[in-house]
Structure 1
Amino acid sequence: MTTSMPILSVILVATVAVLLGSGATWWTMRLRAERDLAVLGTERDLLRERVVDLEATVADDAQTAAALRPLGDALSRVERHVSDLERDRTSQFAALRTRMEQVHTAAGELGRATQSLAGSLNSANVRGAWGEVQLKRVLEDAGMLSRCDFDTQVTVSGPDGRQLRPDAVVRLPGDKVLVIDAKAPMTAFLQAQTEDLDPAERQQLLRDHASSLAAHLKALAGKAYWSAFPTTPEMVVCFVPSEAMLAQALAADPSLHQSALRSKVVLASPGSLFALVRTVAFTWQQDALTENARELLGLGQELYTRLSTLGSHVAAVGGSLSRSVDAYNRLVGTLESRVLVTARKLRELDLVTGDLDEPATAEAAPRQLSAVELLDAVAAEEARPELLLDPAADEQRRERDAS
């Protein structure tokens, strides 16, 4: 009995020691678990803040999409303008080829019509009307109706109060005008076309025709149409309605053309007047193309400006993505170095079963901008002062990141 009592005492003491050791171990593990829970709570708060940052990133994505929408509209307008310019260029060349073919045909018809008109142009009124019809026909064949405006029989007053009435006034780009007269004399020329004339009489009639045309040129110079039209070049165009009529006059008097230029008068046959007026029509076309090019330039400048703005938005999105990746990697580091270590000790004490998965870090990073235009926009954006929406929250975030 005496021997059994010490044995019971030893067993009792050992039991109490084991219980006390287990309680101390349990208490230590509890304190450590509470500390780990506090750390996890902190990490949870950090994750909640990162969620807010991600929501802001989504908002930035929406802003980027809104910024891209006008860019797409501008590109569509540029494509439409380029297509319109190409279509206009093709149609203009086709129209020019058609007009040249028409002029070639018209020149042949004019030569054949000269003989038939000789008998019907004995009246001065008929001759004047025929010259005006020929002038209007050349203007229309040159495409003036589509690209350039012209008026016929315009009455104006000269500086001395005289009434002047040119046969046609062609309007040029820049509010300029070109005055054309179609009253060239043709009586002697028509008489020279009579078949029963001997060569000497025909030559004399042709010289008379050249003299009449020279007198008409002198009269045109005396009218000084350019004084009644301040925006016209200091000259007047004398339209001779037949190629043969002008050629015969120049053959009889080769100095006729030079004397006309000295008098500020330009002699023009149907062919040369067509070339002159067609040049005016082409000038109108180039003026319209210049307007299109100017608008295209404005669209290009607007597109370049919006590309620069887009660069700053892209850089902001890239920065948000980088910060999110950094926050995720810090979370993984904390989980591996603080949380999983304690959790594995629980498994070593056989308090839990199963393995814990190792979290993977995010290695990918946003691609950096390399275009010079976008980098310029980002530099301008970084030069602006940083606006802190919540200074206290930002200070707390920096302290937590440092710890």
Structure 2
Amino acid sequence: MTALSFVVALLAFVIGAAGGAGVLWWYAVRGRAQADTAAYDDVASRLRAAETTLAATQAERDALQDRIVDERQRAAEDRTVLQMMAPLADQLRQVRHQVTTLERDRVEQFGQLSQQLAAAAEQDAALLRTTSSLAGALRNSATRGTWGETQLRRVVEAAGMINRVDFSEQVTSGSAQTPRLRPDMVVHLPAGKSIAVDSKVPLASYLEAQSLEGADAAGDREQVQARQRDLLRAHAKALRSHVDSLAKKEYWEGLPGSPELVVCFLPAESFLAAALEADPGLLDDAFDKNVALASPSTLLSILKGLAYAWRQELLTENARALFDESRELYKRLGTLGGHINDLGKSLKTSVERYNSFIGTLESRVLPSTRRIQDLDPGLTPSAGAEAPTSVEATPRVLSAAELITAEQS
């Protein structure tokens, strides 16, 4: 091999080695560039994800701030409404208290009435049991009169009239026909009125008839029964004569505000029952002559009616107070409606001002920001920003008549 061939061969080897090294270097550079590109893409993707997350977080934060502002405004409005309704709540509590008091008094009064009627029935039964034992003592007219007055007083006291309807005994009064009258009792009625009660009734014939109850075994029963019937008819006749006497006295003429009526009190139920059995028309005839025949139970009912009249006057006063409170409550409902109406107007004004602000923002401010963006293209709006919108809702107008005052209508 010549020197030239050796040089050519060496040069070819050097060139081949250099070309191989260049190819290896090119492949190495290309792989590194691809790795750098992949790393750059990964970082860019992470950056975009972080920007998206940041925008969502900012939007959520803005929404939470808006919600907090709304809740604070709503709480302030609720406090305002509660403050305005405080007087109404006080009035309702007063009305409820008065209604509860009235109902409790009514229940107590009916319970007392039942107890007093039961007590009166027991007393009347005891009176019937002792009638026959008193027959002997009652044959004396003075004793009979005293006993009648005592029974009358007991009935009045049993009716519980001392604290409600005052009564006076042996009151002297007079009229043009009879200048000097003295009823056994004068019961004072509501509104300053009064009524006379007489307890002097003829009982001689009745007592004699009762004394024959045990005589039929010793003699002719039919004769005894006939004698009893005659005596009971005589008893009814004597009672009718007494009614005529009371009618002529006209006790009501000497009592101020008295109805044209006098009560003829019979101390036992059997006295009146026996007279009505012998003379059924006696009761109606007595009423026609302004005389009311009253046994203990009948008089008790009359006195209970008078006591009820007193209680009704008290209940009427309470009802009148309740009515006045209700009227005042109704008026205050109108005032409350006025406050609510003012609140609605204020809300409407706030909405109108908000819409005016949005209009000014869109027509005056945003065009300037757009021109600034044109001068600086690199300036971009904040991520997640939303364009404000106008509010179309308006407060509801009051329509209930109770909540509309005269000024509003």
TM-score, structure 2 as length reference: 0.69
Q: Look up the match of 2:42.
A: none
CA offsets, 1:87-123, max 9 Å, x none? 2222233223223322332332221121222233344
CA 1:255–1:163: 2 relative to 1, 3 Å: same
Name the stretch that deviates more: 299-308 or 285-294: 285-294
Query: 2:64 maps to which residue?
Result: none
Alignment of 1:148-227 (within 5 A): 148-160=165-177, 162-195=179-212, 197=215, 199=224, 200-227=226-253
Q: Measured at CA, do residues 372 and 208 of structure 1 come closer, stay the same or move farther in structure 2, by a change above 3 Å? A: closer
CA deviations 1:168-190 (Å, max 9, x no partner) are 22223333222211111223322
Inter-partner Cα distance in structure 1 for 2:179 and 2:234 = 29
In 1, the alpha carbon distance for the partners of 2:113 and 2:389 equals: 70
Matched AA of 1:87: R
2:97 maps to 80
Task: Quote the Cα distance in structure 1 between the aligned partners of 2:380 and 2:288.
Answer: 116
Q: 1:66 to 1:228 in 2, by over 3 A?
A: farther
Structure 2 residue 135 is matched with structure 1 residue 118:
yes
CA-CA distance at 1:270 after TM superposition:
1.3
How far does residue 126 in structure 1 lie from its aligned partner after superposition?
A: 2.8
Which of 269, 274, 277 is equivalent to 2:303? 277
What secondary structure, in the 3-state scheme, does the structure 1 residue paired with 2:191 have? coil
Aligned residue among 333, 350, 361 for 1:324: 350
| 2:242 counterpart SS class | helix
Question: Once the 2 structures are TM-superposed, how far is the Cα of residue 70 of structure 1 from its aligned partner?
Answer: 3.5
Distance (whole Å) between structure 2 residues aligned to residue 112 and residue 328 of structure 1: 94
Shift of the alpha carbon at 1:228? Answer: 0.6
Alpha-carbon displacement from aligned partner over 1:298-344 (angstroms, at most 9, x marks no partner): 22222222212221221111101111121122223322432244345
Q: Which residue of 2 aligns with 1:31?
A: none
SS for the counterpart of 1:159 is coil
How many Å separate the matches in 2 of 1:336 and 1:297?
59
Q: Could you say which residue in structure 2 is the equivalent of 1:49?
A: none
> Which residue pairs with 2:28 in the alignment?
none
Tell me whether 1:342 sits opposite 2:372 in the alignment.
Answer: no
- The equivalent residue for 1:391 is none
Distance 1:145 1:340 in 2: 91
**Which stretches in structure 1 are left out of the alignment for 5+ residues?**
1-57, 384-403
Q: Any residues of structure 2 matched to 1:90-105 within 5 Å, and which?
A: 90-105=107-122
Larger radius of gyration: 2
Distance 1:153 1:346, change over 3 A: same
1:229 aligns with 2:255: yes
- Structure 2 vs 1, CA of residues 259 and 161 (structure 1 numbering), >3 Å: closer, same or farther? closer
- Give the structure 1 partner of residue 157 of structure 2: 140
Contact 1:332 1:359 in 2 (8 A): no
Q: C-alpha deviations, 1:172-216, integer Å up to 9, x for none?
A: 333322221111122332233225646154444434433332332
Matches within 5 A, 1:249-288: 249-288=275-314
Instruction: Supply the distance in 2 between the matched residues of 1:229 and 1:115 (Cα, whole angstroms).
Output: 37
Aligned amino acid, residue 286 of structure 2: A
- Flag structure 2 segments of 5+ consecutive residues without an equivalent: 1-75, 217-223
Other-structure match for 2:401: 372
**What's the offset of the Cα at 1:289?**
2.8
User: 1:359 and 1:104 mapped to 2: Cα distance?
Assistant: 90
- Contact 2:174–2:253 at 8 Å: present in 1 too? no
Aligned length: 321
Q: CA deviation at 1:255?
A: 4.0
- Separation in 2 of the partners of 1:126 and 1:351? 129
Separation in structure 2 between the aligned mates of residue 288 and residue 362 of structure 1, nearest angstrom: 63
Distance 2:174 2:387 in 1: 97
Alpha-carbon contact 1:192-1:205 (below 8 Å) kept = yes
Contact preservation (8 Å) 2:178, 2:249: no
| Cα RMSD (Å) | 3.0
Task: Tell whether the 8 Å contact from 2:358 to 2:390 is kept in structure 1 after alignment.
Answer: no
* Structure 1 residue aligned with 2:267: 241
Counterpart-to-counterpart distance in 2, 1:152 and 1:164: 12
Does the alignment pair 1:298 with 2:327? no
Q: Tell me how far apart the structure 2 counterparts of residues 258 and 160 of structure 1 sit (CA, whole Å).
A: 25
Q: Which residue of 2 aligns with 1:51?
A: none
Instruction: Give 1:355's aligned residue.
Output: 382
- Does the 8 A contact of 1:328 with 1:361 survive in 2? no
Match of 2:334 among 282, 298, 308: 308
**In 1, Cα distance between the equivalents of 2:199 and 2:360?**
99
